Structure 1
Amino acid sequence: MPAQHSTADRQTGIVRLLLLAVAVWCVLASPASGAVGVRDFCCRVPMSDGLRLATHVYLPRFPKGRCPVILIRTPYPLDQFGRLEARFACREGFGLAVQEIRGSSRAHPRAVVSEAESGGEPWSSGRRHCGTPLFEQDGWMGSQDGQTTIRWIARQAWCNGQVLTWGPSAMGITQNLLAPGAPAALKAQMIAMAPSDMFAQAVFQGGALRKEAVEGWLAEMPFAKDNLEAILAHPTYDPFWARRNCLPQAERVNAPALFIGGWHDAFLQGTLDSFAAIQNRGGPAARGKCRLVVGPWTHADLVWVVDPRQAERLPAAASAVRFFREQLFSCGRAGRSMPVCYYLMGDSCDPGSPGGRWCASERWPPPSTATTFYFHADGSLARSAPVEPGRLSFQYDPGNPVSTRGGRNLARQAGPLDQRSVESRSDVLVFSTDVLHHPLVVAGRIEARLHVSSDCPDTDFTVKLTDVYPDGRSILVCDGILRARFRESFAQPSLLEPGRVYPLTVDLWSTAIAFSRGHRIRVAISSSNAPRFEPNPNTGAPLLPPAPPRTANNTVHLSPAHASSIVLPICSGAE
């Protein structure tokens, strides 16, 4: 059954996300330029195949003349936002163009200026664009609507030839997709909380369908059923997903970007991987010029930044206006600041914690030492490897999965929630360190290296990392999943031989946290986390049509020959 989310909840989520986007845009902006007021018009911009996309253009009323223009490409209706963003953009001397992408809904007619004045076909009422799957024309292959739009904007009399792009979430996805091979008119981007590899970072994390995220988001889109069917028809990494993966195309990106993410964001790893790819492998105009800001945030839970009394809590590095001005006018500030600004999480009630502060670094991840902690049959988690044979087993019933409690969710409650209620289940294996005598700082990507077996041809393995407080709370830090058939490749699945021991690696993505003195580090292993992930039926059958599920008896091996562990990147001098 689809994950249940009320219409009010989904609408509230969109509003909160848009408020966040405006706040990130305007916080710590440079002093306002001479622009006063906004003039606007709507038009339909022609694409290479003749389709015309609805676009709302906002320009500074005074002073008149040509200006750099910020482009936002969105799957959401144009009447949901734009005016508030335009107010801040035009105040700073930028124009703003908001465009609905191909495959999105547009049913909000309004009077417009003439075609001659707008530079495109006037916007008239009508049905949505053709039934192309979302983002189909936004990738780096074939016809590219985003790049076509940039060229169109740069040619207009009201643009000075400089185009920037901006936006979070889906509006960030469109930016990632248009960046490889974009026209020279694209000068910079601000991309917040967006995946760059739609298969691994958005839809099939670890090969498992991100049920609540996919179904929750598509519920807001037109023709949700058609889009869901298109996704489920491609459960492995194939050309469909290759067209929606920008990372291999980093060398073709020539516009620097400010990337903004959150440690509890649904698309965190996409933000980090995008930054690393373009910062290290981008084209000459982008390589070494990107910026990264990561805070202790969920995907949309940043509404506090719209309160001006709290503005100082957001670092100056998160200002899109500042970043855009640095790129357009070659301000010296960009060369002097460190490219990475990240929040080190920790116990906010512990005055001795090294966490709870913003850190700067020349790169992500910062320097660290990969340190292995082994799982032991007595439930301990230690740096010493096991010396005796051991194994722990549990029964996984797809009809009674472990319930999702926080984490990197999109359409339900997200963030660092207490896991004790699910850790007490018989199908969850728990391993804890001794009480820490010194703080331990972990910053970087985390992976669990397991040796497992099952009596089924396929099953899932989930891993959670938690921070255990002195009062017993087990607060989620990060987690991951791997569908066993994808242990070797997401393109070529391989089923399990029942009873055979296999090595596999579960990617927990990344984090930055200080475990305080008096706390413990805990790892919980199971085979489900629903509705965040679609429960594995354990049959090994294709995703569609669904087969009757079966119960799996799964084992984690803990012997010297088949040790299981988690690898933590411990920062130098943190112990």
Structure 2
Amino acid sequence: MRYREEFDREVRVEETWIPVRDGTRLHARIWRPVDADRDPVPALLEYLPYRKGDWTAPRDSQRHAWYAGHGYASVRVDIRGSGDSEGVMHDEYAPQELDDAVAVIEWLAARDWCTGGVGMFGISWGGFNSLQVAALRPEPLKAIVTVCSTDDRYDNDVHYTGGAVLGIDMAAWSGTMLAFTARPPDPRVTGEDWLPMWRKRLGEIEPFLHTWLAHQERDDYWRHGSVCEDYDSIRAAVLAVGGWADPYRDTVLRLVEHLPGPVRGLIGPWAHQYPDIERPPGPAIGFLQETLRWWDHWLKDADNGAMDVPLLRSYIQEPVPPRTHYAERPGRWVGDDAWPARSVTWRDRALDGALRPHAAADDGTVTVASPQHTGVDAGRFFPFGNATDLPPDQREDDGRSACFDSAPLEERVEVLGRPRVRLRMDCDVPRANVVVRLCDVAPDGASTLVARGVLNLAGRNGRDRREPWEPGRPEEVAVELSGTGYAFPPGHRIRVAVSTAYWPWVWPHGEPARLTLWAARSALALPERDPAADAGRAPVVFEAPEQARPIPVTVAEGERRPERRVSHDVERGEWTLEVDPNYGGSRTFPDGLEYTEQALETYRIRSGDPLSAVADSQWHIRLRREGWETSVRTRTELRATADAFIVRSDLTACSGDEVVAQREWEREIPRTAG
């Protein structure tokens, strides 16, 4: 990493309150050139609930100061009810959040130090709301950079996938946000108001999970904020960025295909991180320089070639042995000027032809009935670059699935896009999930996960409805897999693995399912890219990563629990997965603030009993500075009967030894699509 120490423009940092329409004040930190009052600059906004005073402070200092040094007012705002901002946060991406964002953009554009042009950027939450705010078309907003985000809040977020309830993040992310929204304001910023502000938050917050599970089909709740409902609403220029190790990568493919206005897409090998942050899997790129060209073009009218790059730049990953961590994924960058790309051709491989089942009945049918713990080797839903994030060798999960293998490949097969699997099938129960994985099988038998997809059969004809399966009436269903850029080498086999369970990624229905597949009428469709399409094209290249030097943060060293541990109680037939999300642990900031967090996610299930599934999330957060100490403890547990989800949550918040709030919730929510 190269740290930039000096810039063309001297930078100052200031903190201020921004009033929104109902009088609530949001707290902001602004990095801007000291001479911007005489020589105004465009503004860039990053708008998050993750607390600029501690959680994102190191990252903020790397990029906001860098942008300011290159002639921008770079602004970091805490969303209402988070960090040091007033108010209460009741849900993610609520209309109030977006309305506040528009007010912030208008406030920035009206400053004397601003030219009136505004850009918005962010990763994950900040990438989501950048898209959503762009769809509202505030006049000053000219361009956005959205990283690791989604255009579809229902089917491509932490709640549902393929119409199925997510087990691994539906409960855990709600537990995380319960702990996060319960953190107090900082008296260094808010003065004596910090305690009344905190009491108000603690008295009004509600676990988000109650709302998410109350909407198990794609209804108006999920349509709100899903820009895929109306791509034409976005007129600002959009740079969409993702990583093949991130669950939101498919958004980039959809945006470059459907947005009517200026758009460019970029997909690298990365996890859920900004591409300039050197976290596995790399390689990292000079992402700040890349975005600076974007901002200069759209906010300063610079003729700098920002739109002369291919519509989609993507990374074709070379095959690697299966591991949970790669410092770098070998591969190469390619460019395509259209999406769907002219370089990509769809090729079908029948499941009893080019691919062959491991076992089939005399009539050519294949039976799928997976144990409930199938999926323990799925890896982390949100890889952050930690040591245990990525899926390990898939052979054990393959053994719990019905597998269809090609012969050893005679030539290299490059894939770019979203593979699809068509299944002619029957199911012996009205409600079931089908899970499909695409794997690369090496000559030694090692199985590397390439892509996967889930389908809740109740949503097979549309995620906005629930249609129970009628056993005895075979149908054809399509399962779309996650996007990938991957090269299968000669001598390897292509494997399709089909299962009825994928715990804890997918919450099981109330009874085990048995599928019957007609292999002769089922097929894998691969989007195969022609390597010859690169002939004569300029290579896709990036500068080396560069940032401003981050603020000095001391990370506490000490014994940590394993990041990921799987155990099997043989007598009970119970499998337990324990996950430490490892977001950063304990750290001390330059202003003396000590921030400590401990988290543990636990997932349990018995192999033969889908109703034994339990997801549990526990958090303990402490903030301390001389003369001030607070703590938050939360727990969220999700389980289910055949007819209902059972949610239990509790919260204890303390100032020193005084209990400021102690709350408990229990909800029973009917199972519909879930």
TM-score, structure 2 normalization: 0.67
- 2:275–2:285: 8 Å Cα contact kept in structure 1? no
Aligned equivalents of 2:283 and 2:248: distance in 1? 25
1:220 corresponds in structure 2 to 176
Q: Secondary structure at the match of 1:145?
A: helix
Q: Secondary structure at the match of 1:187?
A: strand
Inter-CA distance 396–261: structure 2 relative to 1 (3 Å threshold): same
The one-character-per-residue Cα deviations of 1:317-348 (angstroms, maximum 9, x if unpaired) are: 97211211122223241243222211011136
Code of the residue aligned with 2:468 in structure 1: it is L
Aligned equivalents of 1:245 and 1:525: distance in 2? 30
The Cα of 1:192 is off from its aligned counterpart by: 0.4
Inter-CA distance 154–315: structure 2 relative to 1 (3 Å threshold): closer
Inter-CA distance 136–304: structure 2 relative to 1 (3 Å threshold): closer
1:116 corresponds in structure 2 to none
Inter-CA distance 148–316: structure 2 relative to 1 (3 Å threshold): closer
Q: Secondary structure at the match of 1:144?
A: helix
Is the counterpart of residue 374 in structure 1 residue 350 in structure 2? Answer: yes
Is the counterpart of residue 299 in structure 1 residue 277 in structure 2? Answer: no
The Cα of 1:37 is off from its aligned counterpart by: 2.8
Aligned equivalents of 2:530 and 2:442: distance in 1? 23
Is the counterpart of residue 418 in structure 1 residue 373 in structure 2? Answer: no
Aligned equivalents of 2:241 and 2:257: distance in 1? 13
Is the counterpart of residue 552 in structure 1 residue 513 in structure 2? Answer: yes
- 1:407–1:417: 8 Å Cα contact kept in structure 2? no
The Cα of 1:521 is off from its aligned counterpart by: 0.7
- Of 286, 290, 304, the residue aligned with 1:319 is 290
Equivalent residue runs for 1:238-387 within 5 Å: 238-278=219-259, 281=260, 287=261, 289-300=262-273, 305=278, 314=285, 319-328=290-299, 329-347=301-319, 356-367=331-342, 368-376=344-352, 380=356
Q: Secondary structure at the match of 1:212?
A: coil
Which is worse superposed, 260-269 or 78-87? Answer: 78-87
2:630 corresponds in structure 1 to none
The Cα of 1:55 is off from its aligned counterpart by: 2.4
The Cα of 1:305 is off from its aligned counterpart by: 2.9
The Cα of 1:450 is off from its aligned counterpart by: 0.7
Is the counterpart of residue 146 in structure 1 residue 118 in structure 2? Answer: no
Aligned equivalents of 1:57 and 1:573: distance in 2? 46
Equivalent residue runs for 1:159-558 within 5 Å: 159-202=114-157, 203-221=159-177, 222=181, 226-278=207-259, 281=260, 287=261, 289-300=262-273, 305=278, 314=285, 319-328=290-299, 329-347=301-319, 356-367=331-342, 368-376=344-352, 380=356, 389-398=363-372, 400-406=373-379, 408-409=381-382, 413-415=388-390, 417-425=392-400, 428-537=401-510, 550-558=511-519
The one-character-per-residue Cα deviations of 1:38-97 (angstroms, maximum 9, x if unpaired) are: 2312213213x3333232222222464321111011021121223333321211111122
The Cα of 1:568 is off from its aligned counterpart by: 0.4
1:92 corresponds in structure 2 to 70
- 1:317–1:341: 8 Å Cα contact kept in structure 2? no
Aligned equivalents of 1:441 and 1:379: distance in 2? 17
Equivalent residue runs for 1:42-53 within 5 Å: 42-47=16-21, 49-53=22-26
Code of the residue aligned with 1:73 in structure 2: it is Y
- 1:163–1:186: 8 Å Cα contact kept in structure 2? yes
Aligned equivalents of 1:317 and 1:441: distance in 2? 30
The Cα of 1:33 is off from its aligned counterpart by: 5.4
> Structure 2: 5+ residue runs without aligned partners?
183-204, 322-329, 534-674
State the superposition RMSD in angstroms.
3.2
Code of the residue aligned with 1:220 in structure 2: it is T
Equivalent residue runs for 1:92-171 within 5 Å: 92-102=70-80, 104-106=81-83, 108=84, 129-137=87-95, 144-171=99-126
2:527 corresponds in structure 1 to 569
Aligned equivalents of 1:69 and 1:165: distance in 2? 8
Aligned equivalents of 1:375 and 1:573: distance in 2? 26
- 1:71–1:98: 8 Å Cα contact kept in structure 2? yes
The one-character-per-residue Cα deviations of 1:378-422 (angstroms, maximum 9, x if unpaired) are: 97179xxx9x94111133454x44324237545895435320121
The Cα of 1:35 is off from its aligned counterpart by: 1.4
- 1:343–1:512: 8 Å Cα contact kept in structure 2? yes
The one-character-per-residue Cα deviations of 1:288-313 (angstroms, maximum 9, x if unpaired) are: x3221101122249676379xx9985
The one-character-per-residue Cα deviations of 1:102-121 (angstroms, maximum 9, x if unpaired) are: 3x423x5xxxxxxxxxxxxx
The one-character-per-residue Cα deviations of 1:144-169 (angstroms, maximum 9, x if unpaired) are: 22222211110112211011111111
The one-character-per-residue Cα deviations of 1:186-235 (angstroms, maximum 9, x if unpaired) are: 12111100011100111211011222233333333226862011000000
Aligned equivalents of 1:311 and 1:162: distance in 2? 33
Count how many residue pairs are aligned between Structure 1 and Structure 2: 490
TM-score, structure 1 normalization: 0.78
Q: Secondary structure at the match of 2:437?
A: strand
Q: Secondary structure at the match of 2:93?
A: coil
2:636 corresponds in structure 1 to none
Aligned equivalents of 1:301 and 1:247: distance in 2? 23
> Structure 1: 5+ residue runs without aligned partners?
1-22, 109-122, 282-286, 350-354, 538-549
Inter-CA distance 533–78: structure 2 relative to 1 (3 Å threshold): same
The Cα of 1:131 is off from its aligned counterpart by: 4.6
Inter-CA distance 450–331: structure 2 relative to 1 (3 Å threshold): same
Aligned equivalents of 1:300 and 1:420: distance in 2? 29
Percent identity over paired residues: 24
Q: Secondary structure at the match of 1:161?
A: strand
Is the counterpart of residue 75 in structure 1 residue 49 in structure 2? Answer: yes
Aligned equivalents of 2:498 and 2:206: distance in 1? 33
Q: Secondary structure at the match of 2:429?
A: coil
- 1:404–1:529: 8 Å Cα contact kept in structure 2? no
Aligned equivalents of 2:279 and 2:35: distance in 1? 26
